[in-house]
Amino acid sequence: MGLTRPGLALSLLIAASVQAQPQAIDQLPLQGDGDIRTLPAGTYTGNFTLDQPLHLRCAPGALIDGQGAGSTLHVRVPGVTIENCTLRNWGRDLTAMDAAIFIDKAAHGTVVRGNDLQGAGFGIWLDATADVQVLDNRIQGDPSVRSQDRGNGIHLYAVKNALVRGNQVRQTRDGVYIDTSNDSAIEDNLFEDLRYGVHYMFTHNSRVIGNTTRHTRTGYALMQSRKLTVVGNRSVDDQNYGILMNYITYSTLTGNRVEAVRSGDGGGDAMIAGAEGKALFIYNSLFNRIENNRFESSALGIHLTAGSEDNRISGNAFIGNRQQVKYVASRTQEWSADGRGNYWSDYLGWDRNADGVGDVAYEPNDKVDQLLWMYPQVQLLMTSPAIELLRWVQRAFPVTRPPGVRDSFPLMRAPDLEAHP
């Protein structure tokens, strides 16, 4: 008699459990006896533990198949390098932290370079370790799995002084997720077709430099962190938010370019409701420096809310956004510093002395703007005499003007973005 369906399921579960049992890496036919050990071409199955210092380099045509369970390579000791390896089909149990490459707490100084990973679980997991380098890897998720059920491409938990540079991550959940990790750098990576490209939580003194996000639901989700340096990044054709700052303090954003953020529903997992295609969304964030960035061609240029005050905002360019500013607060915020404001493509003032600064302040959120936020249908009346009369009354009687944003020194030309270091 054949196996019943419950018996077959139990048999498959036992088989998966057996396959997930790790083997020592020297069970593979490694060649060479020096510092570098090479895995020759061929397909190798199973999960393997690196428990001795080793530079593992895979020859072209070498593939390690995790057989759908567990972590394929588990690094337990310092002094390990994994280079040019192709890994497929590792486990997808996110609770068990299944990853193509799992780097343990003791494995400080590990280098993971030039590998090709494709699977539904986590790509590379750094677990409470230090001084790890993740360089020039290609990580591909499984698009047949729901976004929220995939692992992150690169996941850092309680990590110190990590460098994540030059990687390409596609169709995982988040490109790189950083939780409770300090003094790390995310540099020159490409993140595409993801939930969030870069996702920070409870992280301090870290750098995000020269990255590009494309077709994500949020390019850069900066959450619950302080002293971040966000320089020279780009967000292109992202949905909902280009850069989202949520409870961010004492951080610097400069030289970033966000363009063509479109409205969307957040895919069912938006952190904050009301994602109207915002190039920059600042939520309950204080004492930050936001200078010399470019926000353009998006549904909304910048939105501040929930007590986001005392930020230094100057030298930025807001170009061709359907709506430049959305801000509701109890007191007016000055968006200029040292006589230099921002560039606004819809500014209608003049510059009689040709000093490059407009002679009339830019005040984007007057009563008319607030009416538009609450009642979008008012746009049909924008050219009516009633709207013109309301604007005239605000100019003639400033006491009727609501608190909001004021740029006293609007720039007449968009500043050039400086190249990031």
E-strand spans in 328-402? 333-334, 343-344
DSSP assigned state of 183: S
Indicate the residue type of 240: N
- Domain definitions of the chain by residue range: 23-194
Question: How is domain 23-194 classified at the CATH fold level?
Answer: Pectate Lyase C-like (2.160.20)
Tokens 């500013």 locate to 325
- Backbone φ and ψ for 163, nearest 5 degrees, come out as -125, 120
The pLDDT value recorded for residue 54 is 94
Low-confidence stretches of the chain (pLDDT beneath 50): 1-19, 266-269, 399
Cα gap 219→260, rounded to integer Å: 12
The candidate with the shortest Cα–Cα distance to 363, out of 398, 415, 320, is: 398
Q: What pLDDT digit, counting tens, does each position of 213-268 carry?
A: 999 999 999 999 999 999 999 999 999 999 999 999 999 999 999 999 988 764 44
The pLDDT value recorded for residue 229 is 98
Q: Are 156 and 177 in contact (CB under 8 A)?
A: yes
Per-residue buried b or exposed e for 262-301, using 16+ beta carbons within 10 Å of the residue's own CB? eebebeeebbbeebbbbbbbbbebbebbbbbbbbbbbbbb
Report the relative pairing of strands 73-75 and 47-50 from DSSP bridges.
parallel
Cα gap 210→189, rounded to integer Å: 7
The pLDDT value recorded for residue 405 is 85
The candidate with the shortest Cα–Cα distance to 50, out of 110, 138, 122, 94, is: 110
Indicate the residue type of 297: S
Cα gap 421→209, rounded to integer Å: 8
- Return the SS3 of 277: coil
The pLDDT value recorded for residue 7 is 43
The candidate with the shortest Cα–Cα distance to 100, out of 150, 153, 60, 50, is: 153
The pLDDT value recorded for residue 348 is 82
Q: Are 101 and 132 in contact (CB under 8 A)?
A: no
DSSP assigned state of 338: T
The candidate with the shortest Cα–Cα distance to 191, out of 158, 225, 154, is: 154
The pLDDT value recorded for residue 397 is 56
Cα gap 116→61, rounded to integer Å: 12
* Residue 80 β-bridge partners: 54
The pLDDT value recorded for residue 339 is 93
The Cα angle at residue 288 between residues 210 and 340, in degrees rounded to 5: 90
Q: What pLDDT digit, counting tens, does each position of 192-219 carry?
A: 999 999 999 999 999 999 999 999 999 9
- Read off the pTM: 0.86
The pLDDT value recorded for residue 310 is 85
Please report, for residues 9, 12, 15, 69, 285, the alpha-carbon distance to residue 5 in angstroms, rounded to integers and kept in the order given: 6, 11, 15, 21, 55
Per-residue buried b or exposed e for 164-199, using 16+ beta carbons within 10 Å of the residue's own CB? bbbbbbbbbbbbbbbbebbebbbbbbbbbbbbbbbb
Tokens 């490409």 locate to 190
The pLDDT value recorded for residue 407 is 93
